[in-house]
């Protein structure tokens, strides 16, 4: 694992929120921070004037580094400003970063969050975990009021689990995040009733449903046992319930400081994509969302 957290930024309030979150995370982990500024990530109003464009290219990373030096004087900061296609540059950087942090725009609880094309593509292709950080959205002229949504102080780390093929990478990331924050871990496993139970409530055998619930809880407890032993300082809250995985996970992460979900790495022939639960978390969960690639 490398000793650098990378953060993509373009001078927007959303990317500034990502820098703020990434700086705190770098301090927690005791690693350096790499500021990555990709030219023309977003169209700039003065792009028609070469002198103004060059001034903007130089000013954006300089101001970001100055702000970090003021608020995080002990943090080791590296600046990287390169031309290119933002998604391609950021994906390449994930090969030697322990974490990549990006910002997204918050639109409100009902409409969710705006995840741009760059964030979506990078999250689907990245070699390392990617964290999407929300910035509250207000009027364009009130830029200083946009701050990252950090979650309640001491909020738990929430992790969504697939017990059919539990991922060590996801669990390790989640437990380490909880240990670093000194918070608990909420492990959420959502399971489906067998097809026979979907025909209507009259056909549901409550006794059998209870038995299925106990079995799923037991599977979750078994999956958590070795991690409880490895991280005894982390209090684990195990929650298993039948229903819609996306809805349950988002609801149970409402008070979280971080939500951890997975992205299964596909074979090249199958392309890259984000599963429905991860997509839902990225668009509708309120805390920062960490997407961990796994086999």
Record the tokens describing residue 204, joined without a space: 């549901």
Q: Which residue has the higher pLDDT, 257 or 164?
A: 257
Average pLDDT, the chain: 83
Above 50 in pLDDT, residue 109? no
CA dist list (Å): 31 to 25, 94, 172, 174, 220: 9, 15, 18, 18, 33
Cα 236 from chain centroid (whole Å)? 20
Lowest-confidence segment of 180-184, 272-276, 278-282 by average pLDDT: 272-276
CA distance 287 to 258: 6
List of residues 6+ apart from 79 with CB closer than 8 A: 34, 35, 37, 61, 64, 65
Using one digit for the tens of pLDDT, what is the confidence trace for 164-218?
Answer: 888 999 999 999 999 999 999 999 999 887 765 555 544 667 777 788 889 999 9
Contact 182, 156 (CB under 8 A): no
CA–CA dist 257, 248 (Å, integer): 17
Backbone φ and ψ of 288, nearest 5°: -55, 145
- What mean pLDDT comes out for the span 76-100? 92
Judged against a pLDDT cut of 60, whether residue 151 lies above it is answered with: no
The pLDDT value recorded for residue 4 is: 95
What's the rounded Cα separation, in Å, for the pair 252 and 280? 13
């Amino acid at each position: 694992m490398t000793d650098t957290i990378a953060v993509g930024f373009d001078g927007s309030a959303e990317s500034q929120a990502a820098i703020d979150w990434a700086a705190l995370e770098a301090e927690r982990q005791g690693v350096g921070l790499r500021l990555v500024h990709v030219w023309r990530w977003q169209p700039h109003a003065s792009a028609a004037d070469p002198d103004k464009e060059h001034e903007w290219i130089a000013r954006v990373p300089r101001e970001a580094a100055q702000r970090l030096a003021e608020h995080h004087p002990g943090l080791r900061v590296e600046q990287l400003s390169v031309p290119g296609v933002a998604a391609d540059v950021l994906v390449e950087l994930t090969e030697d970063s322990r974490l990549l942090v990006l910002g997204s725009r918050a639109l409100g609880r009902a409409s969710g969050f705006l995840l741009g094309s760059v964030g979506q593509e990078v999250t689907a292709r990245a070699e390392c975990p990617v964290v999407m950080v929300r910035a509250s959205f207000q009027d364009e002229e009130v830029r200083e009021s946009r701050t990252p949504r950090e979650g309640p102080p001491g909020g738990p780390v929430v992790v969504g689990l697939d017990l059919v093929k539990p991922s060590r990478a996801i669990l390790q990331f989640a437990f380490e995040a909880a240990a670093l924050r000194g918070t608990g871990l909420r492990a959420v496993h959502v399971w489906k009733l067998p097809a026979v139970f979907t025909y209507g409530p009259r056909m549901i055998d409550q006794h059998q449903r209870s038995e299925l619930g106990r079995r799923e809880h037991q599977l979750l407890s078994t999956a958590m046992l070795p991690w409880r032993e490895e991280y005894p300082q982390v209090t684990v809250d195990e929650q298993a319930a039948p229903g819609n995985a996306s809805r349950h996970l988002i609801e149970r992460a409402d008070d979280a400081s971080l939500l951890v979900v997975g992205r299964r790495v596909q074979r090249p022939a199958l392309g890259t994509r984000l599963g429905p639960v991860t997509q839902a978390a990225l668009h509708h969960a309120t805390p920062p969302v960490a997407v961990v690639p796994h086999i």
